[in-house]
Structure 1
């Protein structure tokens, strides 16, 4: 991993950015999905299936998990998957607004402008897909706590440049690693696997754009600017990751919420899984000069480092 004091990689030129945007547009034309047609929304939910890989459950590996019946384990993973989807919708709405602000009144003939609108359209479809998926999993609407919602409201209004795109990247990368496991797991409901596959394929393009924009916006940035943005991105990352699984999932799965919350908080298996899944992300942030001592402390608190 790059050190916390490492400088950024060479910034992409305008020509590089245009080339990346064109490739992403061509890729989107060649391989995109319509969730309304691709996902099996009609077949009733089979409760013999999980909603997420059991190993990704916040309670997997705990004494409580060992005491749970297979039915309770499956119900918990379904509620957790729905919670992750709800958090995804929340952040995708933030992402869309940041990108619209960023490209407001810019040259619509540029490939990056056209890609931004393509990505926003993708995110609209993804949010609807996640919402329908959560409903089919028989889950309520899980929202981040009020403080986090209001912080998100401020962030989507004020964030710009590398802080916006690096935060987008964090949210997408963390979810991507989970879903790559889930889409291959035959223990998971088929419609959920399809949702994960669609999201992984299309988000890979979004992550490429976020990386390029982060590098580009950091071109010529000084030490202080990198320190500030590294801290902002880390704080946003903390709230995204800690909001993914709402504590109400435990009661909705028929568990003791206090015990479940306590054991999930101390679950070293889940913490280790998060850290290993974010190794590539941390390497990128380090190479971009966005992994500082202060930000590393926050990432460790979020179990991302």
Structure 2
């Protein structure tokens, strides 16, 4: 990457200055903000039903009301577990780059970014451990080394952007869902508030990194990046479908449940809805083609 690329972007500087000011003005103490009740009600939604993996599928019709509530509990814990793992990865990668030559310009904002993400990881972990008794394991795959090496930082920040946009899709909807407990709504509302800034930054950073990569990339190298992003989108979406969740909710044949849900007619539209804004932006800057919107899905990275 050109060491002067980010330094020379006036648009990036304007975005960074604006977002840094917002980070300071919107700062809150997460350790004092949230009320953590001893327990959350079992016979209630812990995730908006429309966001659950079983919504509008044949699988849903086989479940009792109590099983639906139980599934919402475990899908909720899985979702926040994915946040914990995703934040851990982005903290590692951003920390590796802070105050390096290539990333001197965004380093000041990186301090806000790292601080906020660390606090997000804390309150997501708190939720999982308090109300689920565990953090689900990170799904395998998704972050393998990808050639060409010149695309490493590009793909790191593209992964971060995809992760943030996926969780923000859920956050923005659950923050407003009055069927959910106040604690659940508060967690999603606060995360959405912060992620809006992170996504604005991430989009501009990915655009600049991709433009820089394309200056010297071969057609084959660009195709490799395109294919990787496609696979990572699928991997990220499929991580919502955790067979351990179905097992914990008491569903028989959890691996079969996962397979049937991923093969169901609803999967394509669900995935398109989750990544509607993401895929539109990635198409706009040329990282993926419009084939992704057609619902054709590739194999997840392994």
- TM-score surpassing 0.5? yes
Q: Which residue of 25, 31, 34 maps to 1:30?
A: 25
**Residue pairs, 1:215-294, within 5 angstroms:** 215-220=207-212, 221-222=214-215, 224=218, 225-256=221-252, 257-292=254-289
Q: Structure 2 vs 1, CA of residues 40 and 302 (structure 1 numbering), >3 Å: closer, same or farther? A: farther
SS at match of 1:300: coil
Q: Which has the higher contact order (CA 8 A, sep 6+)?
A: 1
- Tell me if 1:124 matches 2:118: yes
- Distance in 2 (CA, whole Å) between partners of 1:12 and 1:50 is 47
- Distance in 2 (CA, whole Å) between partners of 1:32 and 1:180 is 19
- Distance in 2 (CA, whole Å) between partners of 1:35 and 1:111 is 28
Given that 2:169 and 2:274 are in contact with CA atoms closer than 8 Å, whether structure 1 keeps it comes out as yes
* Aligned equivalent of 2:160: 168
Given that 1:51 and 1:188 are in contact with CA atoms closer than 8 Å, whether structure 2 keeps it comes out as yes
Deviations 1:144-192 (A, max 9, x none): 34x42xx53757xx77332222221111111111121111112222211
- Distance in 2 (CA, whole Å) between partners of 1:123 and 1:19 is 22
Q: Structure 2 vs 1, CA of residues 245 and 137 (structure 1 numbering), >3 Å: closer, same or farther? A: farther
* Aligned equivalent of 2:107: 113
* Aligned equivalent of 2:58: 63
- Tell me if 1:152 matches 2:149: no
- Distance in 2 (CA, whole Å) between partners of 1:91 and 1:165 is 12
- Distance in 2 (CA, whole Å) between partners of 1:297 and 1:66 is 28
* Aligned equivalent of 1:75: 70
Q: Structure 2 vs 1, CA of residues 280 and 25 (structure 1 numbering), >3 Å: closer, same or farther? A: same
User: Tell me, which stretches of 5 or more residues in structure 1 are unaligned?
Assistant: 1-10
- Distance in 2 (CA, whole Å) between partners of 1:35 and 1:163 is 30
* Aligned equivalent of 2:128: 134
> Paired residues, what number?
287
Given that 1:50 and 1:78 are in contact with CA atoms closer than 8 Å, whether structure 2 keeps it comes out as yes
Q: How far is the alpha carbon of 1:75 from its aligned partner?
A: 1.2
- Distance in 1 (CA, whole Å) between partners of 2:9 and 2:75 is 42
Given that 2:99 and 2:107 are in contact with CA atoms closer than 8 Å, whether structure 1 keeps it comes out as no
The 4+ residue runs of structure 1 with deviation greater than 4 A are none
Q: Which residue of 179, 185, 196 maps to 2:177?
A: 185
- Distance in 1 (CA, whole Å) between partners of 2:192 and 2:7 is 25
Deviations 1:116-140 (A, max 9, x none): 1211111111111111111233253
Given that 1:79 and 1:137 are in contact with CA atoms closer than 8 Å, whether structure 2 keeps it comes out as no
Normalised by the length of structure 2, the TM-score is 0.84
- Distance in 2 (CA, whole Å) between partners of 1:262 and 1:31 is 42
- Tell me if 1:88 matches 2:83: yes
- Distance in 1 (CA, whole Å) between partners of 2:265 and 2:179 is 23
Q: How far is the alpha carbon of 1:32 from its aligned partner?
A: 3.1
Given that 1:85 and 1:131 are in contact with CA atoms closer than 8 Å, whether structure 2 keeps it comes out as yes
